[in-house]
Amino acid sequence: MFEARLVQGSLLKKVLESIKDLVTDANFDCSNNGFALQAMDSSHVSLVALLLRSDGFEHYRCDRNMTMGMNLSNMSKMLKCAGNEDIITMKADDTGDVVTFMFESPDQDKISDFELKLMDIDSEHLGIPDTEYAATVKMPSSEFMRICRDLSSIGDTVTISVSKDGVKFSTTGDIGQANITCRQNTSVDKEEQTIIELQEPVTLTFALRYLNSFTKATPLAPTVQLQMSKELPVVVQYLIADMGYVRYYLAPKIED
């Protein structure tokens, strides 16, 4: 038996919005640790890893480890039927052919339940090695979203260069080129800060299409963290307060 109750149900709605453009079908892993997912996009260029820790739920029960395969577009259709103020409870029994989403309005005067059919999904669970990254950038998530969106109107790829002076985002396209530099800035409110931790300068190029998909997680966190090392996938992490994270990995473009 699996049961997880989330008073701030809108969080689950936002989580789903942050992954459904990247992945069509995915296995959610339920354990005593929490509600987790690891899935790659169909072209194996990016990966999303989600963790909602069990202690972040108001009630959490997982009698044995379960994998629940869901079509994320269908899951999203159901979660969109929950109000933003609703409490959401997920339930599944051990036979595991359906998951039930129960929505309770804040006044408890409306209770809905939606039953989603589960599916068998072959998934490749990748081992992601622990890495010391050469550069870590923390910046406002809205700023990162704005930069990715703006640059994608000029070019298809972005070159991200981190040095002690700042982080530079550059693109080139048919109409011209663009460079945006964010300098380290620790003088403002914590959520507005840009912080650079640097072992050594690093420059990598990525497809903007994927980074734009990642920024669907912006409503989940005021800050985003980028971690980069030479010729390694970038890690783009959004921390979900008191619950866990949505973390994306994107393989770089590599010169022949």
Partner 1 sequence: GAEQASLLSFFKGP
Question: Which spans of this chain sit near partner 1 (rule: CB under 8 A)?
Answer: 40, 44-47, 124-129, 157, 205, 207, 232-233, 249, 251-256
- Closer of 107 and 124 to partner 1 (Cβ): 124
- Closer of 36 and 195 to partner 1 (Cβ): 36
Whether 117 and 166 have beta carbons less than 8 Å apart is answered as no
Q: How far is CA 165 from CA 147, 162, 197, 201, 229, in A?
A: 18, 8, 11, 10, 17
Task: Please tell me the distance from the alpha carbon of residue 220 to that of residue 218, in angstroms, as a whole number.
Answer: 5
**Minimum CB distance to partner 1, residue 228 (Å):** 13
Task: Please tell me the distance from the alpha carbon of residue 74 to that of residue 25, in angstroms, as a whole number.
Answer: 9
Whether 154 and 176 have beta carbons less than 8 Å apart is answered as yes
**Minimum CB distance to partner 1, residue 154 (Å):** 17
**Minimum CB distance to partner 1, residue 40 (Å):** 6
- Closer of 88 and 207 to partner 1 (Cβ): 207
The residue among 172, 171, 181 whose CA lies nearest residue 137 is: 181
**Minimum CB distance to partner 1, residue 207 (Å):** 6
- Closer of 140 and 252 to partner 1 (Cβ): 252
DSSP state of 251: P
